[in-house]
Chain A
């Protein structure tokens, strides 16, 4: 159903994001031209993470399926409340990798990337300073969002060309009234 009014909370959140982008144009990196919210650096990092959550094999992985696009779209909408956590924790991921391994997450080899995310998942990084955020909580949310972006309906910006449904051998789009054989 079409709701004529959106929630006050969503409305205030979305105008704040818009206002934020304009006000701090000089101080912040603007969103990359392909995205509503994410900078080029953030998008690149998310692509690398998405390819660990759903690695490419003989079927596309998370980045090719558009998981980053999905996350960006939702951060600009229903998931707007998570923007501060994403901003802060994505930065911390790169900083922590720099401290531990001497380069950002994206430049690490795949095994190292996987191990780093496993450390986030297990809580081994919880002692670090993540600006008040919990790295395990952020990882769990990130994992959920990546899986939504890969396995959810393409109308939300991910699952490009129904790639995950083809992998699962489900025919798409559904043909209404099809014969069963």
Chain B
């Protein structure tokens, strides 16, 4: 069954796809935006920690469900089938807005050094480290666009490490909660430079939506008053209102179609009644997340693309990254918790880059509020895991516990990768993503350095007991997944050019975290949004000059 031809198909309605759909539709292109999930609603999910996007033993309310398995491969090469509620699945979400509905919403610009990781830190043994083919200065206007179009509350004034900007944030920064006020004073005493975390969240009414009501359960949950800014309540409604964009939910794109000249002609997809359909288009923009975008390209084979579209040099799916999260936890002698959400509020960038003898680094910030079930796993090493002591800790230390965490920027590893399984298929019969890999030793070394700084911060604040958190050596991905279709000037070591255009396939673009060469010392979502604007800007510019990429 064929659908009416459109100018552009966008696959995935997350941080990148939502932006691309809106930019293309606003420029006059006809767009179909595909989303395999559905609209998520606060009042359906409510405050259910066990199906949240943060902890999910009973499945993922924000998607996907168990019709979408993957394969997780361990260090010995043994694969096992995993479902979204397993950490080894490396889930983000599957719904309109994807992760941006339920995220913590930290809104970081990467620093200049993040884009020049190889030049700054040199070659690392076993890595595929590289610089981005674009600079911070190239992307700066698009960070600004994302901040104003979607909505960011922040103030760089007190961050001496902040990269330069032309325009301030559109909304003032959030007021600190009690924990952050304490940590801010301690950071100053320790010689650090604390400042409020920029957030994709309304500190004042913005975009026709109210200000944040400071709830405790934010990260992992939709917002009941829509104060958290995601693509589902900003750019996607705008895209729909242009009249040029059709959103199809519960619609699963499974293959990119090409003609005998190797050019993309459209996509094959399953509709919500699970019937096969074909949507033709002049261009296709893939924004399904680092895992699913790589999987889609690898599953799109033809005579001219025998190993998957864009995969001539075996680069699609490689260099999968997340962050090597680390930090420290502290206990205090009095209640610190004041129930003012979302919890994370103060950060330092003193150790994001240029740490002597250390590759990379991370920003450090106080953590989002820990929900009760998640807190059952937060204990000093050697603590009771059940029984009276465990219950007492939960009861007496919940309001006295403070956590500092930092997303250590990983060194790209070509062996951390997404492939497609030869044996395992999803509910529709499509080969599933297979994830394998590990962290390089350098990541763990940097994590130890950063965790020690987190401990120093907590001790400066007067914590009576502190313990560090160091990541394991398993592959990263999940909510910060990136890197699998990276941009670059050399087709032999990258999948797209600097505009997200797949090498060799002029009418195929990528506009999600897959593009990231390195994943920054920060949460990546604002960079993904900025790249959505950057890639779309190129497409629209070319389109307006008559280029149909055909």
Interface residues of A (CB under 8 A from B): 1-10, 52-55, 57, 59, 74, 78, 114, 117, 121, 143-144, 146-148, 151-153, 155-156, 164-165, 167-171, 173-174, 176-178, 180
Are the CB atoms of A1 and B44 closer together than 8 Å?
A: yes
CB contact under 8 A between A114 and B95, given known A168-B372, A174-B215: no
Q: How large is the interface on B (under 10, 10 to 19, 20 to 34, 35 or more residues)?
A: 35 or more
A180 vs chain B, min Cβ distance (A): 6
Instruction: Judge whether A170 and B395 touch: CB under 8 Å.
Output: no
Q: How far does the alpha carbon of A169 sit from the alpha carbon of B338 in the complex, in Å?
A: 11
- Residue on A with the closest CB to B42? A176
CA distance in complex: A9, B46 (Å): 27
Chosen A-B contacts, 12 in total, with CB atoms closer than 8 Å, are A1-B39, A3-B65, A54-B391, A55-B388, A78-B59, A151-B372, A151-B376, A155-B46, A168-B395, A169-B398, A173-B47, A176-B215
Q: 14 other contacts beyond A1-B39, A54-B391, A170-B216, with CB at 8 A cut-off?
A: A2-B38, A4-B272, A6-B65, A7-B66, A9-B66, A74-B58, A78-B58, A147-B376, A147-B386, A152-B50, A152-B372, A153-B50, A168-B398, A174-B215
Task: Judge whether B225 and A164 touch: CB under 8 Å.
Answer: no
In the complex, which residue of chain B has the Cβ closest to the Cβ of A142? B386
Q: How far is the CA of A148 from the CA of B85 in the complex (A)?
A: 14
* Known contacts A121-B385, A174-B215: A7-B65 contact under CB 8 Å: yes
Interface of A is mostly: loop
A52-B386, A168-B394, A176-B224 known; A8 vs B427 contact (CB < 8 Å): yes
Contact status B386-A143, CB under 8 Å: yes
**Contact in complex: A152, B49 (CB < 8 Å):** yes
Report B15-56 CB contacts with A as 1/0, cut-off 8 Å.
000000000000000000000011111001011111000000
Q: Are A180 and B340 in contact (CB under 8 A)?
A: yes
CB-contacts of B38-87 with A (<8 A): 38-41, 44, 46-50, 57-59, 61, 63, 65-67
Indicate if the CB atoms of A57 and B427 lie closer than 8 Å. Answer: no
**B301 close to A (CB within 8 Å):** no
Q: In this complex, what residue of B is CB-closest to A168?
A: B398
B67 / chain A contacts, CB cutoff of 8 Å? 5, 7-8
B373 beta carbon closer than 8 Å to chain A = yes
**When the two chains form their complex, are residues B387 and A114 in contact, meaning their CB atoms are under 8 A apart?**
yes
Which residues on B sit within 8 Å (CB–CB) of A174? 47, 215-217
**Which chain A residue shows the least CB distance to B215?**
A174
Contacts of B394 in A (CB 8 A): 151, 164, 167-168
Chain B minimum-CB-distance residue to A177: B213
A8 to B398, CA, bound (A): 41
B305 touches A (CB below 8 Å): no
Are the CB atoms of B391 and A55 closer together than 8 Å? yes
Question: What is the chain B residue whose CB lies nearest that of A169?
Answer: B399
In the complex, the answer to whether B48 meets A167 with C-beta atoms within 8 Å is no
Which residues of chain A have C-beta atoms less than 8 A from B63's C-beta?
A: 1
Q: Across the interface, which residues of B come within 8 angstroms of A180, CB to CB?
A: 214, 339-340
Asked whether, in the complex, the Cβ of B66 is within 8 Å of the Cβ of A143, the reply is no
Question: Using Cβ atoms and an 8 Å threshold, which residues of chain A touch B385?
Answer: 121, 143
A5: B residues at CB distance < 8 A: 67, 274
CA distance A124 to B379 in the complex (A): 24
Among A57, A148, A155, contact of B391 (Cβ-Cβ < 8 Å): A57
Assess whether A1 is in contact with B395, with CB atoms less than 8 Å apart. Answer: no
Residues of chain A contacted by B46 (CB below 8 angstroms): 153, 155
Inside 8 A of A121's CB, which chain B residues have their CB?
385-386
Contacts of A7 in B (CB 8 A): 65-67, 427
Cα distance A155–B47 when bound, in Å?
Answer: 10
Pick the 8 closest A-B CB pairs, nearest first.
A1-B38, A151-B372, A7-B66, A152-B50, A151-B373, A153-B48, A53-B386, A147-B376
Interface centre among A52, A152, A156 (most CB of B within 10 A): A152
> Known: A1-B38, A153-B47. Is A170-B339 also a contact (CB below 8 A)?
yes
Do residues B37 and A1 form an inter-chain contact, with CB atoms below 8 A? yes
CA distance A176 to B226 in the complex (A): 12
**Separation of A114 and B537 alpha carbons in the complex (Å):** 64
| Inter-subunit contact B50/A148 (CB<8 Å) | yes
Within the complex, which residue of A146, A169, A178 is in contact with B213, where a contact is CB–CB below 8 Å?
A178
The answer to whether A176 and B213 touch across the interface, beta carbons within 8 angstroms, is yes
- Complex Cα–Cα for A156 and B56 (A): 13
Cα distance, A85 to B48, chains bound together (Å): 27
